[in-house]
Structure 1
């Protein structure tokens, strides 16, 4: 049996987010960036969320991912 689907029409509004710290691609160092930030080069912006603790602690990055959803 092969089941496939296409999900369309999902719209969301991001509420209660913090402004992201902007880091230029030229100065990018993953060890010194905040846990959620805006990585920018000359043409594009990328919302980045990183895992900040060992995976065994189960501190999932849901809030950081949510904060980066509204990056254009």
Structure 2
């Protein structure tokens, strides 16, 4: 590995370490919020999930266990 490649590698690694990869996640809990129940149905053919609220009238197809799965929202 020549000096140019080593220098580029050091710069790339230094830039990667300089960036903070942490994200702040805050959980909001509302004490007066209604309790929601969901129905999860797994599709055995391609391992997608069908998620539907059982106490509402707006079912949605969502999620995938593998990258590139189809989602409808």
Q: Which has the higher contact order (CA 8 A, sep 6+)?
A: 1
TM-score range, shorter chain: under 0.3
TM-score, normalised via structure 2 length: 0.27
Structure with the bigger percentage of helix: 2
